[in-house]
Amino acid sequence: MRAYLDFLRKPYAARLLGGTLLGRLPNGMSALAIVLFVRAHGGGYTLAGVLSALYGLAMAAGQPVLGRAMDRFGQPRILASGAVAAAAGFATLAAFGLHPLPVAVAGVLLAGFATPPLEAGLRALWPSVLAGPAEVQAAYALDAAAQELLFTCGPLLVIAAATISKEVALLLTGLLGVAGTLVVTSSRPSRAWQGERAGGHWAGPLRSPGIRVLIAALTFVGVALGVISVAVVTYADERHLSYASGSMLALNALGAFVGGVAYGRRPRTGPPYRRLALLMAGLAAGYLPLMWAPAFPVMVLLALLSGVFLAPVLACTFTLVDGLAPRGTVTEAFAWLVTAFGVGSAFGAALAGLAGDAAGARGAFAVAGAGGAVALLTLLAGGPIRPAPLARESAVGQDQL
């Protein structure tokens, strides 16, 4: 744990990580807050699901757009204006309800699209805040592990706020995003950070073959995670265990947290691409036994183990991005990874529903295993990923991470 303590003692490190996690709490709150609000106002499950999906898709579309704007105009104005606009979207839904429906849809779309890309912004900041590759690696690992807390604490906050009113839950979701964003944007590193001058290419970071491979691989990792979020419900229904779904998701998140903390405890040597391939293989291997869908006591262990490699995979992916992103596109590159993961999760949830109806929990979990395997094959098919001539000059030493 010494590496983490040393990291958190660095100037601004704890503030940036804590502020970013606070500002990202809406990511773990919004879906539940929208569903509860729609149901409280007489809307059906279909409408609740559609509005929640629209929010997720809008956020996926907005992240790379705002990321590109941050690379060009800096962090404070883009992050702060996005957070305020997203809060306004939640407030619009809370104020007008479901009638007229187009206004509700507009509020949800605004809240999703304007979600500030804090996750991408933080990862772009670390190399300028921390002293060397070992500290950056620890930061990436702790960030990837800590984000699991968002999806544990977020729903609990929604439930607590909803006891007052569903409108309060929506407003709290938006206000927490603003509060966390202000903690980050008022800091000296965020105000001082400037993206490098980009070449103006329309494709931005997507013109890097390595970035495209990482985006594709992470999309399938997202598919696997999206499948699991639905498959656990199918398993719980088959076993008639109402508590099983929540328990398994919590254990999966706990496994990811433990794996991330363990991964970042000491510096890693060797090319990060080779390490990522090994970690991705471990991730895929962890998902495959879930299709066995054994008795709950055994499934508890499998759920825990299936999460262990997730945060290390994400952390290792982050170390590659800074060296692969073309000059002036690093924030957008990180934002594309967030988008890929989110879109993959949405598709995975849909696929899990179809597989669950057709073949039950085993069929749904089989799709998760397939998602992990395809993610690994996609990474391997892309060949060795190394910084290209287009990459930022500061990434020359990345192969030492």
Cα–Cα distances in Å, from 273 out to 42, 190, 338? 51, 29, 19
Mean pLDDT to the nearest integer, 18-36: 90
Lowest mean pLDDT among 46-55, 115-124, 161-170, 211-220: 46-55
Domain 1-195 identical in fold to domain 203-401: yes
Which residues neighbour 33 within 8 Å (Cβ) at sequence distance 6 or greater?
A: 90, 158, 161, 162, 166, 169, 170, 173
Kindly state the tokens that stand for 256. Answer: 């990811």
Q: What is the pLDDT of residue 137?
A: 78
The helix, strand and coil proportions of the chain, stated in percent and rounded to the nearest 5, come to 80, 0, 20
pLDDT value of position 144 = 82
Supply the pLDDT for residue 392: 43
> Token pair of 278, please?
């090994």
* Distance from C-alpha of 248 to C-alpha of 242, rounded to nearest angstrom: 11
Return mean pLDDT, the chain.
86
For the 1-195 domain, the top CATH level (class) is mainly alpha
Q: What is the pLDDT of residue 196?
A: 65
Most confident of the ranges 64-73, 105-114, 328-337: 105-114
What mean pLDDT is predicted for residues 190-212?
Answer: 77
Work out the average pLDDT over 343-353: 83
Residues of the chain with pLDDT > 90, as a percent, come to 47
Tell me the CA distances in angstroms from 224 to 58, 221, 302, 342, one per residue in order: 21, 5, 15, 11
- Write out pLDDT tens, residues 384-398: 676 654 444 444 333
The 10s digit of each residue's pLDDT in 103-147 is: 999 999 999 999 999 988 998 898 888 877 777 877 888 888 888
Question: 326 has which bridge partners?
Answer: 391
Boundaries of every domain in the chain: 1-195, 203-401
Gap between the Cα atoms of 203 and 2, Å rounded: 41
Give the model confidence (pLDDT) of 230-262 as tens digits: 788 889 889 998 788 878 888 888 899 899 888
Q: Which CATH class is domain 203-401?
A: mainly alpha
Query: How far apart, in Å, are the Cα atoms of 325 and each of 46, 47, 308, 393, 394?
Result: 40, 39, 27, 10, 11
- What is the pLDDT at residue 386? 65
In this prediction, residues 197-222 reach a mean pLDDT of: 82
pLDDT at residue 158 greater than cutoff 60: yes
What is the C-alpha to C-alpha distance for residues 83 and 197, in angstroms, rounded to an integer?
A: 25
- Stretch 87-92: mean pLDDT, rounded? 98
* pLDDT at site 391: 45
Which pLDDT value is given to residue 197?
A: 60
Please state at what angle helix 244-263 crosses helix 296-306, rounded to 10 degrees: 30
Do 41 and 170 touch, CB atoms closer than 8 A? Answer: no
The distance between the two most distant Cα atoms of the chain, rounded to a whole number of Å, is 58
What confidence tens digit (pLDDT) does each residue in 256-285 have? 989 988 887 776 767 788 899 999 999 999
What's the token pair of residue 73? 């105009």
Question: What local confidence, expressed as pLDDT, does residue 399 receive?
Answer: 36
Residues 6+ apart with CB under 8 A from 46: none
CB atoms within 10 A of CB 388: 16
State pTM to two decimals.
0.78
The predicted model gives 14-40 an average pLDDT of: 90
Question: Average pLDDT, stretch 182-195?
Answer: 92
* Range among 152-166, 302-316, 327-341 rated most confident: 302-316
Tokens of 325: 């992103």
Q: Give pLDDT, residue 153.
A: 83
Checking if the pLDDT of 71 tops 50, the result is yes
Percent of the chain at pLDDT > 70 equals: 92
